[in-house]
Amino acid sequence: MKRLLQRLLGRLPIGWLQLTHNPMRFAAALVGVAFADVLVFVQLGIMTSMGTATLRPYSFFDADVMISAADANGLTDGGNVARQWLLQAMADPDVIDGMGLLIANAPWDRGDADISLTTFGVDPARPTFIAPDIAGDLSLLEVQDAALLDRLARGLGREAAAAIRPQSPLSFETQGRTLTAYTTFAGGGGFGGDGYMMVSDQTFLALFPARSSAAPDHILLRLRPGADVTAVVARLHRLISDLDLRIRSYADAAQEELTYQKTKRPTGIIFGFGVLIGVLVGLVIVYQVLSTDVADHLREYATFKAMGYGPRFFVSIVLEEALILGILGFLPGFAVGATILAAMGKMTTLPLALTPSMAITVFVGTVVFSALSGAIATRRLAAADPADLF
Amino acid sequence: MSPIVEITGLNHWFGQAAARKQALFDINLTMARGSFTVLMGPSGSGKTTLLTLIGCLRALQEGSLRLIDQELKDADEAQLVLMRRKLGFIFQAHNLHESLTAGQNVMMGAQVHPGVEADLAARASSHILGLVGLAERVDYWPANLSGGQKQRVAVARALVGGPALLLADEPTAALDKDSASEVIDLLRRLGHKRGMTTLLVTHDNRILDRADRILTLEDGRIVADDVRPSK
């Protein structure tokens, strides 16, 4: 390492030699940086997981435009939309089809655990609104009380889920009715529910009698191929007289919910602050280590100043130390962070994982913030006055 | 040959306004190249102030100081830094970097000069440590060296860059008689061999008979200038 640094720096790697001269302090500093990285990894992992979980239900459907109630900040959030607006929207020449989407939570007493399934009521005759990997099984929902079940739902059990097939369906009780799952699709537990279930609109209305087909949660629209979504959305705003409705492209609706979850919901804000706190902890730890190191070596630095070393030399030593701490502290932080996220993902079935982009982001952040701490710590170098040596 | 140090009408003060106190009064001094000069005087007489001014560690306030043919009056910090690379410093405390071995400490004296590669600096430091009798201690940490050995490493560090002028402040103060004698002999021998000028501040009377010239400073003024016959 010393030789490598000497070759890279073109001088003695004084930062490295200073840090490694006191192995206990060096180890403690690396543990500190690693701890800050673990904090950031875990918070970032949860935030990323929240984003994945937020967008996941959008991936079950295939639509161009979504019409929602004014207070609908997300797919499973907000009031209903009058079905009449679906008919009104169909008047637009570029709108070729529409479907009301019904959503509610269905509790399922599994004996050892009560789970809650976010249930979508869809028209089984409209497979074009359903994602291709699910649409092939949509016809199964034409049978009353039939369901497609999320095989990754929390509390379902992987083996039990794998056994669900049309020839070996699973029947279960929910909302006072017996549903039969004929097959499964890949969803997964999120922050708002344990998994997903898809049923026909008729089965949905039987499960939730208080709901009405005249008032779905959202209206999904398909447009003519090649149609300008933005232009259609603008026309629909003029066409639909309820000015409070949220009419957006389907992609925009998904992004708006993601932004809402991250910036307006308490969970998103808390995890965002968690990342910030991790960064600040790292910044303070590296600054503390470096500024102590500078203070401990003021006499030596003053000697080097007397010998004719200029300010850039001292800044380069402190930055060298900052980068060593940042890079070497990142490695254990990465390992521990990945392990914790994997364990949390296994326990919660949330999509928690340390992704390459997260690793790169945290690595770059660690190096940048370590360098920033180093830059702040160099202010103490001014106290090294060579005239005081005599 | 022009003198290596030429000081004319130098005055220096510390503090501001009412607290301003003059430390040096009208200093006029020239030092010939290759000489070994001892600067003496009681504490507070201005020796250290004069040494730090000649060593480019303080900015000149009044008067003229020509060092190695360059006027330091109005020199900026960057110029002072460059000039310091032509000087060698030995302090009362050895001031070795505890995280660097003896060899690495000496390398720092060589690598201050731009373009000196690490390999060359390492060879030069081993060579000069050999000259000061520490060839076997190149890889020792300062903590594992005796006081005399540390001061010899400091001497090697000051000399490795081939300074034109060596400034030493009480280099033997912390040493026993034998070690002190060893260090002074070393400075004389290597200085003579390399044509280096030495200005040494000391209270140690044992050193006086080795000096070419003894300057005595009192209350900020040079009160005696005793030039000895060359040895």
Question: pLDDT exceeding 70 applies to what percent of chain B?
Answer: 99
Q: Is residue A255 included in any domain, yes or no?
A: no
CA distances from A227 to A51, A93, A97, A254 (A): 29, 10, 13, 20
Q: Do A387 and B104 touch (CB under 8 A)?
A: no
Q: Which helix (H) or strand (E) holds A85?
A: helix A84-89
- What would the mean pLDDT of B114-141 be, rounded to a whole number? 89
CATH code: domain of residue B145 = 3.40.50.300
Residue B231 has pLDDT above 70, yes or no: no
Q: Is residue B150 included in any domain, yes or no?
A: yes
Burial class (CB in 10 A: 0-12, 13-18, 19+), A91: exposed
Q: Between A17, A308, A386, which is nearest B112 by CB?
A: A308
One domain for residues A141 and A221: yes
- What would the mean pLDDT of A330-334 be, rounded to a whole number? 94
Decide which of A173 and A266 is more confident. Answer: A173
Q: Between B78, B92, B108, which is nearest A307 by CB?
A: B108
Residue A95 has pLDDT above 80, yes or no: yes
Task: Report the residue of chain B nearest A312, measured CA to CA.
Answer: B78
**Domain count within chain B:** 1
- The answer to whether the beta carbons of residues A240 and A67 sit under 8 Å apart is yes
Q: Between A21, A308, A390, which is nearest B99 by CB?
A: A21
Predicted pLDDT at B154: 92
One domain for residues A297 and A366: yes
Predicted pLDDT at A290: 83
One domain for residues A286 and A357: yes
Tell me the per-residue pLDDT of A161-211, one tens digit each, with 9 for 90 and over.
899 998 999 999 998 899 999 999 999 888 778 999 999 999 999 999 999
Predicted pLDDT at B133: 86
The CA distance from A325 to the nearest CA of chain B, in Å, is 17
Per the structure, the complete domain to which residue A200 belongs is given by 82-244
A111 inside 8 A of chain B by CB? no
All residues at 6 or more sequence positions from A120 whose CB lies less than 8 Å from its CB, including other chains:
A57, A60, A101, A102, A103, A196, A197, A198, A199, A204
One domain for residues A216 and A92: yes
Q: Is residue B28 included in any domain, yes or no?
A: no
Q: Between B52, B97, B100, which is nearest A387 by CB?
A: B52
Q: Is residue B5 included in any domain, yes or no?
A: no
A386 inside 8 A of chain B by CB? yes
- What would the mean pLDDT of B149-165 be, rounded to a whole number? 91
The CA distance from B1 to the nearest CA of chain A, in Å, is 26
**Domain count within chain A:** 2
Task: Report the residue of chain B nearest A299, measured CA to CA.
Answer: B95
Task: Output DSSP code: residue B228.
Answer: P
- What would the mean pLDDT of A49-57 be, rounded to a whole number? 90
Q: Is residue B70 included in any domain, yes or no?
A: no
Residue B8 has pLDDT above 90, yes or no: yes
Tell me the per-residue pLDDT of B206-220, one tens digit each, with 9 for 90 and over.
788 888 899 999 999
CB atoms within 10 A of CB A210: 6
Question: pLDDT exceeding 70 applies to what percent of chain A?
Answer: 99
- The answer to whether the beta carbons of residues A350 and A191 sit under 8 Å apart is yes
Q: Is residue B64 included in any domain, yes or no?
A: no
The CA distance from B96 to the nearest CA of chain A, in Å, is 7
Residue B142 has pLDDT above 60, yes or no: yes
- What would the mean pLDDT of A147-170 be, rounded to a whole number? 90
CA distances from B99 to A37, A280, A296, B173 (A): 28, 29, 11, 24
- The first and second tokens of residue A57, run together, are 């239900």
Q: Do A12 and B111 touch (CB under 8 A)?
A: yes
Please enumerate, as own/partner, the contacts of A307-310 that have beta carbons within 8 Å and a separation of 24 or more. A307/B84, A307/B85, A307/B89, A307/B108, A307/B109, A307/B112, A307/B157, A307/B161, A308/B81, A308/B82, A308/B83, A308/B84, A308/B85, A308/B86, A308/B87, A308/B112, A309/B81, A309/B112, A310/B78, A310/B81
Q: Is residue A150 included in any domain, yes or no?
A: yes
Tell me the per-residue pLDDT of A276-313, one tens digit each, with 9 for 90 and over.
888 888 888 888 888 888 888 888 888 999 999 988 88
Predicted pLDDT at B230: 60
A277 inside 8 A of chain B by CB? no
Q: Do B52 and A304 touch (CB under 8 A)?
A: no
Q: Strand B36-40's sheet: what is its strand order?
A: B87-90, B165-169, B197-201, B36-40, B213-218, B221-227
One domain for residues A240 and A300: no
Tell me the per-residue pLDDT of B75-117, one tens digit each, with 9 for 90 and over.
898 899 999 999 999 888 888 999 999 999 999 999 999 888 8
Predicted pLDDT at B132: 84
One domain for residues A332 and A213: no
Task: Report the residue of chain A nearest B59, measured CA to CA.
Answer: A387
- The answer to whether the beta carbons of residues B179 and B172 sit under 8 Å apart is yes
Chain A residues closer than 8 Å to B161 by CB:
307
Q: Is residue A163 included in any domain, yes or no?
A: yes
Give the whole-angstrom CA distance, residue A119 versus residue A145.
13
One domain for residues A197 and A280: no
Task: Output DSSP code: residue B21.
Answer: E
Give the whole-angstrom CA distance, residue A162 versus residue A342.
22
One domain for residues A305 and A384: yes
Q: Is residue B216 included in any domain, yes or no?
A: yes
- What would the mean pLDDT of B8-29 be, rounded to a whole number? 92
Q: Is residue A383 included in any domain, yes or no?
A: yes
One domain for residues A99 and A212: yes
Q: Is residue A252 included in any domain, yes or no?
A: no
The CA distance from B49 to the nearest CA of chain A, in Å, is 9
Per the structure, the complete domain to which residue B97 belongs is given by 34-59+76-227
Residue B203: pLDDT band by 50, 70, 90 thresholds? confident
Chain A residues closer than 8 Å to B86 by CB:
308
